[in-house]
């Protein structure tokens, strides 16, 4: 059975997938001045803050110790255990050797605690009492190898004491071996004391021996003791290397300052060697060499300034903060310590991985992720002259394409950005790519994985067909699918069965990254979907009876008109800010409080918006144009027959198959009812903005690329909103311009406009009669072979005046 | 508490409910049926941000 400990809120396994379990050491008056000050001032909230702070910095369990001269341990412990157990998610390690204190606080703790600690200092009297308590309250126990003779210094002595304690705790008191965490004690190798030169070796050796002779037990270690007396910056490195060595031998938990544990990969070879020489006592001069080597490293506790940070850490910070300042100098300094390729693989890629994890936890927003990716990209570009091109061999490679008939590339390009900047080789072969080309390229480039993207409903259907074609052509790569119209269910039921290799639905670029990692680990599995009782709602008007006596409005003219002079600035008044900031740009509220989100909006989002707005207007990136028209029409079942100078154009609309059975044609009167008026529009903000976004993408300005693209899409919608309002005013359905755009978002106006390709009329083929009526080619808007409009930042609609007309889905 | 759809800007307000989805007045966002989607753009509940 797995050994876990728990708080009121969560259980934590002692044996983590990636050991060690980090136990935060700072809630201890003997180790942390901040905690001591708070304790002596009885500032309980301050004590708690130190705990929460460690949680935020990566601790998984919190050690809590209040034993301090002049304080009442029992009373302080009672107060703090109550406070911590309600306010802190992490399980507690109750750090007391007093059976009385433990007997009082264990019943208060609403989880499974770890007791720290038992030993044989008094011959075993306290050990008996504490083991009984541990058994009674189901706690795990830390056991220190101390006897009446004192602390065990040699590996043999540590093993002997551990065996003695094991005998008592397991055989006599019935504790489970996995619930005993042996602390085999460690002492500094930094004092120069000749008798302690092999202190690290003795501890490491003891871990090895106890693992062999007392199978199943766990370990913990106060790691930072190893470096006592050395300088802070050097300690951090030495502690981390020692921890790495101990974990390799079986250490499963460690008592540390979680914020100061360095990833082993981020420690340079030179630094590692100096540490290992000292730890393994490899030569007489090891300590002097170590001190000399780390002479330059200075660090002020907790308030390190950039200059004082190790250069490796500085690079990590640059990536995490998306900060490109001084990158060139920093990298040239790092090149003196690392091979360029190792800078990429050991420093940059892990930092990007961290960025992805933060995004996954909702702690980093998409725009900041893109800024981090820019730092990564630029760093690689700066390193490339000094290394062989990133060797393609051994790197997982991915082919990316937007499927045939679909011009949308923002989603695919985001995947490209994220994968490339996580060290993968990406072949991005563009938009509107037919299956035949994808197959040929996948074979030619021998990629490991194929990724398909597409925004349209039609693209989803096409992916299903593509799977069958891939199968027939004998492709062997797993396929990742992404796109707005896809769902897990569709992929699992319609795509997976058509292809023998895994077909995997990816909701966003990070799901794609996760899938690639699973592929590398040999764990990539096809998307599955289980029919649940969960039925997605289909929102829409619930009424069934349409008012038939509605008189058609007066229209200002019949036929089409083109408008080419529109002030671009007007569009900004019609922008849907929520959709732009939160949706397109990714400035989600996430875990922020309202005040924090307001601050983010005021300090980051609005200034960004102002910058792009001013740039777009000054540089002439916006060229709004409209073609629109009013026409006589009659409805006939699902068809709308539109009269245009003697000809009739037929628009066929789908009908809901279930109640209330709505169809757009129903909102118009039949010939018998006297006929009706219908209007249409096609609007575009032109091709210049699309050109600009393309330039940004090609110059690796990922952040501005996503931002400007999002702004363009929303400005296109703003133009549609603006023009729809103008048409309602022209038809006398509305008196004047509104100032409340928020109300427009929720269709706070008479009638409705339905976009072709959207849920009320998903079929893009209606663009054919529409283009015959309006001739949007004259404002520069054309159709692709699959009836999609180009440029991308164009939109179309049928405008319905019937008051009951609102959005619905067929 | 009100919630906003990050895809289209629709605001779910418990004081108004959601007639398009047959949701009565007074239902908190957290208590909406699991299959509830944005009545305007069909975005799922994870696409909503708290507003207040």
Q: Does B27 touch chain A (CB under 8 A)?
A: no
Peptide bond into A279 cis (omega under 30): no
Cβ–Cβ of A539/B20 closer than 8 Å?
Answer: yes
Q: What is the maximum alpha-carbon separation in chain A?
A: 110
Which residue carries 């019937």 as its tokens?
Answer: A802
Burial A123-152 (b: 16+ CB within 10 A, else e): ebebbbbbbebbbebebbbbbbbbbeeeeb
Q: Which residues pair with A625 in a beta bridge?
A: A684
Among all residues of chain B, which has the CA nearest to that of A743? B10
- pLDDT grade, residue A140 (50/70/90)? very high
Q: Chain A interface residues facing chain B, Cβ-Cβ under 8 Å?
A: 534-537, 539-542, 576-579, 582-583, 588-590, 594, 742, 745-747, 759, 806-807, 809
What's the N-to-C CA distance of chain A in angstroms?
A: 52
CA–CA separation, A63 vs A49, rounded Å?
14
Pick from A539, A542, A746: which is nearest to B37 by CB? A539
Q: What are phi and psi of A144, to 5 degrees?
A: -95, 140
**pLDDT of A232:** 82
Q: What's residue A42's pLDDT?
A: 93
pLDDT at A301 over 50: no
**The pLDDT value given to residue A549:** 84
Per-residue pLDDT reduced to its tens digit, A382-399: 998 888 766 666 789 999
The mean pLDDT of A480-496, rounded to a whole number, is 92
pLDDT one-digit tens code per residue, A148-159? 998 999 999 999
Which pLDDT value is given to residue A298? 52
Work out whether the CA dihedral A111, A112, A114, A118 comes out positive or negative.
Answer: positive
Task: Kindly indicate the confidence band of residue A306, based on its pLDDT and cuts at 50, 70 and 90.
Answer: very low
What is the mean predicted confidence (pLDDT) over A127-138? Answer: 95
User: Does A622 have pLDDT greater than 80?
Assistant: yes
For B49, which residue in chain A has the nearest alpha carbon?
Answer: A589
Identify which of A537, A578, A809 has the shortest CB distance to residue B36. Answer: A537
Q: Tell me if B20 and A540 make a contact (CB, 8 A cut-off).
A: yes
Q: Would you state the pLDDT for residue A361? A: 76
CB neighbours of residue B40 within 10 Å: 18
N-terminal to C-terminal alpha carbon distance within chain B: 6
Give how far A742 is from chain B: nearest CA, Å: 8
pLDDT of residue A586: 92
B22 and A742: CB-CB below 8 Å?
no
- pLDDT above 80 for B38: yes
pLDDT score of A261: 84
CB contact under 8 A, A747 and B40: yes
**For residue A463, which of A429, A486, A489 has the smallest C-alpha distance?**
A486
DSSP A260-323: GPPPGGGS-HHHHHHHHHHHTT-STTHHHHHHHHTTT----SS---GGGS-HHHHHHHHHHHT-
pLDDT digits (tens, 9 = 90+) for A647-675: 999 999 999 888 888 999 999 999 999 99
A115 and A142 Cβ atoms separated by less than 8 Å: yes
Q: What percent of chain A is modeled with pLDDT above 70?
A: 96
Name the pTM for this structure. Answer: 0.66
pLDDT tens for A589-611 read: 988 889 999 999 999 999 999 99
Q: Is B16 on the interface with A (CB under 8 A)?
A: no
Residues of chain A positioned with their CB less than 8 A from the CB of B34? 534
Task: Dump pLDDT digits (tens) for A433-466.
Answer: 999 999 999 999 999 999 999 988 888 999 999 9
The structure tokens 């628009």 sit at: A651
> Is a pLDDT exceeding 90 seen at residue A492?
yes
Contact A771, A780 (CB under 8 A): no
Q: What is the mean pLDDT of residues A742-752?
A: 88
SS (H, E, C) A63-107: EECCCCCCCCHHHHHHHHHHHHHHHCCCCEEEECCCHHHHHHHHH
pLDDT at A536: 61
Question: Which has the higher per-residue pLDDT, A1 or B29?
Answer: B29
Kindly write down the DSSP assignment for every residue of A238-265, as one continuous string: HHHHHHHHHHHHT--EEEE-GGGPPPGG
Instruction: Note the pLDDT of residue A303.
Output: 42
The yes/no answer to whether this complex scores an ipTM above 0.90 is yes
Task: Please give the angle made by the CA atoms of B2, B7 and B12, to the nearest 5 degrees.
Answer: 20
* Chain A residues with beta carbon closer than 8 angstroms to that of B21: 537, 539
Contact of B23 with chain A, judged by CB distance below 8 Å, is answered with: no
SS3 A403: strand
The mean per-residue pLDDT over the stretch A536-554 comes to 79
């Amino acid at each position: 059975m797995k050994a876990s400990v728990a708080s009121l809120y969560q259980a934590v396994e002692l044996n983590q997938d990636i050991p060690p379990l980090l136990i935060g050491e700072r809630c201890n008056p003997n180790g942390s001045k901040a905690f001591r000050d708070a304790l002596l001032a009885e500032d309980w909230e301050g004590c708690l803050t130190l705990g929460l702070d460690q949680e935020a910095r990566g601790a998984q369990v919190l050690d809590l110790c209040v034993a301090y001269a002049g304080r009442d341990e029992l009373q302080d412990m009672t107060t703090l255990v109550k406070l911590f157990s309600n306010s802190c998610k992490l399980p507690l390690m109750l750090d007391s050797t007093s059976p009385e204190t433990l007997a009082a606080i264990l019943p208060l703790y609403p989880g499974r605690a770890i007791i720290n600690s038992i030993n044989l200092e008094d011959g075993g009297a306290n050990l008996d009492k504490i083991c009984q308590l541990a058994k009674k309250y189901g706690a795990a126990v830390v056991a220190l190898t101390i006897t009446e003779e004192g602390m065990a210094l040699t590996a043999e002595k540590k093993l002997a004491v551990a065996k003695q304690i094991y005998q008592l705790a397991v055989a006599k008191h019935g504790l489970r071996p996995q619930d005993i965490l042996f602390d085999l004690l460690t002492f500094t190798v930094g004092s120069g004391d000749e008798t302690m030169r092999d202190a690290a070796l003795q501890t490491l050796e003891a871990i090895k021996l106890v693992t062999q002779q007392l199978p199943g037990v766990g370990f913990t270690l106060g790691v930072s003791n190893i470096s006592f007396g050395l300088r802070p910056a050097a300690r951090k490195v030495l502690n981390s290397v020692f921890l790495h060595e101990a974990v390799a031998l079986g250490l499963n938990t460690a008592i540390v300052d979680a914020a100061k544990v360095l990833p082993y990969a981020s420690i340079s070879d030179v630094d590692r060697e100096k540490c290992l020489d000292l730890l393994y006592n490899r030569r007489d001069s090891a300590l002097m060499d170590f001190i000399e080597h780390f002479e330059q490293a200075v660090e002020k506790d907790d308030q390190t300034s950039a200059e004082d940070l190790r250069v490796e850490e500085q690079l990590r910070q640059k990536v995490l903060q998306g900060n490109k300042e001084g990158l060139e100098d920093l990298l040239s300094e790092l090149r003196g310590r690392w091979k360029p390729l190792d800078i990429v693989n050991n420093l940059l890629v892990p930092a990007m991985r961290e960025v992805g994890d933060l995004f996954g936890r909702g702690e980093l927003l998409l725009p900041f992720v893109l800024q981090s990716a820019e730092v990564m990209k630029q760093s690689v570009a700066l390193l490339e002259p000094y290394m062989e091109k990133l060797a393609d061999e051994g790197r997982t490679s991915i082919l990316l394409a937007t499927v045939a008939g679909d011009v949308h590339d923002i989603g695919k390009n985001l995947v490209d950005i994220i994968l490339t900047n996580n060290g993968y080789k990406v072949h991005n072969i563009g938009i509107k790519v037919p299956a035949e080309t994808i197959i040929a390229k996948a074979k030619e480039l021998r990629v490991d994985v194929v990724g398909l993207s597409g925004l349209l409903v039609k693209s989803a259907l096409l992916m299903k067909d593509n799977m069958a074609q891939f199968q027939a052509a004998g492709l062997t790569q797993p396929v990742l699918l992404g796109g707005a119209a896809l769902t897990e269910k569709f992929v699992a039921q319609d795509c997976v069965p058509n292809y023998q290799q895994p077909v995997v639905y990816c909701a966003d670029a990070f799901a794609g990254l996760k899938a690639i990692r699973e592929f590398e680990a040999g764990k990539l599995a096809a998307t599955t979907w289980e029919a649940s009782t969960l039925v997605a709602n289909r929102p829409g008007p619930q009424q069934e009876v349409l008012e038939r006596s509605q008189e058609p409005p007066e229209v200002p003219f019949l036929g089409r008109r083109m408008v080419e002079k529109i002030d671009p600035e007007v569009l900004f008044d019609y922008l849907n800010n929520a959709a732009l900031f939160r949706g397109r740009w990714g400035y989600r509220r996430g875990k922020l409080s309202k005040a924090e989100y307001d601050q983010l909006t005021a300090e980051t989002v609005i200034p960004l918006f102002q910058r792009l707005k001013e740039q777009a207007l000054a540089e002439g990136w916006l060229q709004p144009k409209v073609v629109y028209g009013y026409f006589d029409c009659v409805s006939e079942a699902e068809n709308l027959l539109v009269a245009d100078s003697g000809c009739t154009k037929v628009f066929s609309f789908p009908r809901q198959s279930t109640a209330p059975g709505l169809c757009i044609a129903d909102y118009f009167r039949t010939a018998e009812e006297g006929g009706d008026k219908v209007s249409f529009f096609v609007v575009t903000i032109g091709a210049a903005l699309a050109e600009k976004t393309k330039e940004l993408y090609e110059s690796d300005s990922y952040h501005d690329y996503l931002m400007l693209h999002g702004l363009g899409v929303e400005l296109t919608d703003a133009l549609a909103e603006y023009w729809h309002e103008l048409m309602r005013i022209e038809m006398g359905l509305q008196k004047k311009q509104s100032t409340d755009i928020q109300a427009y978002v929720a269709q706070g106006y008479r009638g409705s406009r339905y976009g072709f390709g959207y849920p009320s009329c998903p079929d893009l083929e209606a663009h054919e009669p529409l283009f015959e009526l309006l001739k949007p080619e004259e404002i520069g808007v054309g159709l692709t072979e699959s009836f999609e409009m180009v440029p991308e930042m164009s939109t179309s609609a049928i405008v319905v005046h019937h008051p009951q007309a609102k959005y619905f889905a067929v | 508490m009100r919630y906003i759809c990050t895809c289209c800007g629709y605001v779910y307000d418990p004081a108004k409910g959601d007639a398009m989805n047959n949701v009565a007045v007074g239902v908190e966002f957290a208590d909406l049926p699991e299959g509830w989607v944005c009545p305007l753009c069909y975005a799922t509940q994870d696409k909503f941000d708290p507003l207040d």
